Amino acid sequence: MPATRPTSTTLVGRHVRLEPLTADHLGDLFAAGGRDEEVWRWQGGPAPRSEAELAEKLDAVLEAAERGEYVPFAVVHRADGRAVGWTCYLDIDADDERLEIGWTWYGRAYWRTAVNTEAKLLLLTHAFDDLGMGRVQLKTDHLNQRSQAAIARLGARREGVLRRHRRRPDGTWRDSVYFSLLADEWPEAKARLAARL
């Protein structure tokens, strides 16, 4: 029996709540990470200098969701109720029991906190335990060492590199490093992530 395709839903943890991303999150998101070049360095373009520029990026994500390509979530920090970033399910194939977690960013104040660990724990738990996925993949720029380390800490295995995979906004070429976690690896990874929280 194939996996179930994800739909918009809310996933709640102790530190974060993942809720369907909407235009209503724009103000919080800009306050969390707008204008910060380091936040946007690996996100496919310069940092948005205004809410209107961030709205263009947000609209693109929401349009992809309308086409069924993404299931986007606002990452809400429960302590203050503000959206501090977003993340998505994408490259979804329920017949082949796989999806990707990606297009993820958080405001810099939330790096190396419980936010990413718990957001990924919620997304992975939903993908494997609720939707029946057999594989979850993540990818990042080969130069983004911080992201690669964060993905490895999730328990995902580095699979390889797609060379000259994507053109960056500055015209240079990105190699993409792929990681994955399989359903039979998930129980051990889940226990480790839960212990880290």
* pLDDT surpassing 80 at residue 1: no
Quickly list H helices, 87-182.
Answer: 114-125, 145-153
Number of domains in the chain: 1
Which residues, in sequence order, are CB contacts of 71 under 8 Å at separation 6+? 6, 7, 8, 65, 88, 89, 90, 92
Distance, in Å, from the CA atom of 10 to the CA atom of 25, rounded to the nearest integer, reads 14
With beta carbons less than 8 A apart as the criterion, state whether 76 and 103 touch: no
Q: Which domain holds residue 147?
A: 11-196
With respect to residue 110, please indicate whether it lies within any of the assigned structural domains: yes
65 lies in some domain: yes
Indicate the pTM of the whole model: 0.95
**Whether residue 108 has pLDDT greater than 90:** yes
How far apart, in whole angstroms, are the C-alpha atoms of residue 141 and residue 138? Answer: 11
Q: Where are the beta strands (DSSP E) in the chain?
A: 11-12, 16-20, 70-77, 82-93, 98-106, 135-141, 157-167, 173-182
pLDDT value of position 151: 93
Q: How far apart are CA 189 and CA 184, in angstroms?
A: 10
**Mind listing the pLDDT tens digit for each residue in 128-139?**
999 999 999 999
4 within a domain of the structure (yes/no)? no
> Residue 6: CB partners within 8 Å, gap ≥ 6?
71, 89, 92, 99, 126, 127, 131
- Span 77-100, pLDDT tens digits: 999 999 999 999 999 999 999 999
| Segment 143-151 long-range contacts (CB within 8 Å, at least 24 positions apart) | 143/42, 143/174, 144/41, 144/42, 146/111, 147/42, 148/177, 148/179, 150/116, 151/179
Label residue 2 by pLDDT band (50, 70, 90).
Answer: confident
Domain annotation covers residue 56: yes
Evaluate whether residue 3 is within a structural domain: no
The CATH number covering residue 121 comes to 3.40.630.30
Confidence of residue 140 (pLDDT cuts 50, 70, 90): very high
Q: Give which of 8, 144, 117, 141 is closest to 71, Cα–Cα.
A: 8
Q: Do the domain assignments include residue 6? A: no
Residue 52 in any domain: the answer is yes
Query: Is 130 domain-assigned?
Result: yes
Beta-bridge partners for 100: 90, 137
CB atoms within 10 A of CB 165: 15
